[in-house]
Structures are given as structure tokens and as C-alpha cells.
């Protein structure tokens, strides 16, 4: 009995290097197995079992990981600064989001060139424009102090709304052409899974950051989060068309057009409504500040 417990303990708590190797190995294997679920064989089932074992072993290691993270938080200078310096944490989050968004825009551009699809290229250009907007907002954030240079932040905030409103007709055109020619974004199943991972992560992070950074009362941060939300919404639209193309049948073209049209119109109206709100809110705040300055000089 004692020997059995010892073996069970070794199985549930493998060496850290072995657990890392299993995690790195199982991730691509599981994606391959899920992408060929219709042709599942004995190898696929072995991959499922190995992945389940790896997941259980990782869960058993959670208390150790938490203790290690707590130790790092106390003794590592960089990690300690991330947890204690709100401004440094904010800049780190924004620049990491910029890097991720840029990578995704280049990914869309690469897919457009590979498939020679003008729809991919049009969407890639839209993502690139959003990435450029985010870059300039972060540059302004570096130059200005959030919450102090409030009037200048409001002007940049208003310009962001104007740029989003000006780009919305291009998004309408992309959606209209998709519906008119009934052409989706035909990705491989593995690529679709990767897109889904990025899209849901980006959408979740965008919502969390909008709520989290409201306390900073910075129009520049709000503008950056608006761009993040726009990127996530358009990613959701492209993911939907990709999934309909990858997993739908050729006979449901009418359903595909209907769903794409409704969701595309919803995304376009959402982006346009957000842009109008940004413009009107910034104009109202600037007017109030101008009136206050005028009363102050009298």
C-alpha cells in the first residue's frame, strides 16, 4: 500500500522539467487532434489521455506555483515593481497589447498575401490603421501625464473618435462585399482555433481594462481602450466568418449571409456609436473647461 501511494504521488507530482516538457508537447498535439476530430484514431485518443494527465498534474502543482509566485513578488525587483507601481504596470500592459495587436495585423496581412485575397488584405489594412492609432496614443501617453494635461488629452481623445468614425465606412464596405459575394475568410482549422484564442483573449482583456482603468480619469487611456475594443470587435467578426467557412456546409449560404450581415452591421454600428460618443463627450468636456477658464479670467 505504501509503495502504491509512492507511485501515485510520483505520477501526480512529476518533476517540474517533465511537466513543462509535457505541457509544451501536448499543446500542439491536442490542437492537431482536435483539428482532425472527424478522422480520430487510436493516436488521437492517446493524445487526449496524455493531455488530460498533463492537465491534472498542472492542477496539482497550483499551490506550489502560487507559493513560488508569492516568493518572486517579494524578492524579484521587476515583479515587485509590476505589482506596486501602477503607472509602470499600466505602461507595460499597454505596450504588450500594442505588440500583440501589431503581430495579429501582420498575421492578417500575411494570410492575405498567401491566399491572394483582397478581403484579407482589406481587413489587414484596417487592423494596421488601428495599430497605428494605438501607437500614437501610447506615444502621447508617454509625453503627457494622465489626469494632469487634461485639455490636451481631451483633444487627442476627440481626434481618436474622429478617426474611428472616418474608418467606419471602410468597415461597412468590407462587410458589404463579404455579404454580396458570400465569401468568408477560409482558414485552416488550426488557424481558426488560434484566431479564436486571440479573439476571446483580446475581447476579455479589452472589457477588463475598460473597467479597470476608469479610475485613472485619463481620456488618453480611454481612447486606447476604445481602440482595443474596436480591434476585439472586428476580430470577433472575422472569427465568425472564419468559423462559418471552416465548419459550415456549402448548402447554408443563405444562413451564412444572414448571420454575417447581422453581426457585421452590429459591429459597424457599435464602432460608429463609440466614435460618436467619444467625439461628443470630448467636445462637451472641452466646452466646460473653456467656459471655466473664461469665468476664471473675468
Residues 201-239: tens digit of each pLDDT: 877 877 777 777 666 677 877 888 888 888 888 888 877
The tens digit of pLDDT for each residue in 143-195 reads 766 556 778 888 888 999 999 998 888 888 878 877 776 655 556 666 677 77
**Which residues, in sequence order, are CB contacts of 82 under 8 Å at separation 6+?**
88, 89, 92
The tens digit of pLDDT for each residue in 119-155 reads 777 778 888 888 888 888 778 777 766 556 778 888 8
**In the chain, % of residues over pLDDT 90:** 5
Q: Give how far Cα 153 sits from Cα of 88, 139, 188, 210, 280, Å.
A: 19, 12, 43, 17, 14
Q: Is the pLDDT of residue 298 over 50?
A: no
- Global pTM reads 0.67
Q: State the Cα–Cα distance between residues 259 and 132, nearest whole angstrom.
A: 30
pLDDT in the model for residue 275 = 92
Nearest 5°: the CA angle 200, 265, 101 is 35
The tens digit of pLDDT for each residue in 60-103 reads 777 777 777 777 667 777 777 777 766 677 677 778 778 877 88
Q: Burial, 215: exposed, middle or buried (Cβ in 10 Å; 0-12, 13-18, 19+)? A: exposed
CB atoms within 10 A of CB 267: 22
Amino acid at each position: 500500500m505504501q509503495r502504491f501511494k509512492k507511485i501515485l504521488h510520483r505520477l501526480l507530482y512529476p518533476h517540474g522539467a517533465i511537466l513543462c516538457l509535457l505541457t509544451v508537447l501536448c499543446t500542439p498535439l491536442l490542437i492537431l487532434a482536435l483539428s482532425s476530430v472527424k478522422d480520430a484514431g487510436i493516436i488521437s485518443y492517446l493524445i487526449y489521455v496524455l493531455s488530460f494527465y498533463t492537465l491534472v498534474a498542472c492542477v496539482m502543482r497550483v499551490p506550489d506555483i502560487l507559493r513560488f509566485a508569492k516568493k518572486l513578488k517579494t524578492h524579484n525587483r521587476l515583479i515587485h515593481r509590476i505589482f506596486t507601481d501602477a503607472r509602470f504596470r499600466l505602461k507595460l500592459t499597454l505596450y504588450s497589447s500594442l505588440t500583440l495587436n501589431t503581430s495579429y495585423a501582420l498575421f492578417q496581412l500575411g494570410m492575405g498575401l498567401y491566399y491572394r485575397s483582397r478581403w484579407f488584405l482589406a481587413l489587414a489594412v484596417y487592423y494596421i490603421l488601428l495599430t497605428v492609432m494605438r501607437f500614437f496614443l501610447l506615444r502621447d501617453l508617454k509625453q503627457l501625464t494622465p489626469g494632469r494635461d487634461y485639455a490636451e488629452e481631451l483633444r487627442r481623445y476627440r481626434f481618436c473618435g474622429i478617426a474611428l468614425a472616418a474608418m467606419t465606412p471602410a468597415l461597412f464596405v468590407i462587410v458589404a462585399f463579404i455579404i454580396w459575394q458570400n465569401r468568408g475568410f477560409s482558414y485552416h482549422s488550426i488557424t481558426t482555433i488560434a484566431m479564436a484564442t486571440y479573439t476571446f483573449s483580446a475581447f476579455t482583456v479589452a472589457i477588463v481594462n475598460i473597467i479597470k482603468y476608469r479610475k485613472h480619469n485619463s481620456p488618453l487611456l480611454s481612447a486606447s481602450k476604445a481602440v482595443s475594443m474596436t480591434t476585439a470587435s472586428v476580430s470577433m467578426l472575422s472569427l465568425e466568418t472564419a468559423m462559418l467557412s471552416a465548419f459550415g456546409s456549402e448548402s447554408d449560404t443563405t444562413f451564412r449571409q444572414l448571420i454575417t450581415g447581422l453581426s457585421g452591421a452590429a459591429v459597424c454600428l457599435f464602432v460608429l456609436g463609440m466614435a460618436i460618443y467619444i467625439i461628443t463627450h470630448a467636445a462637451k468636456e472641452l466646452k466646460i473647461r473653456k467656459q471655466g477658464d473664461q469665468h476664471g479670467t473675468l
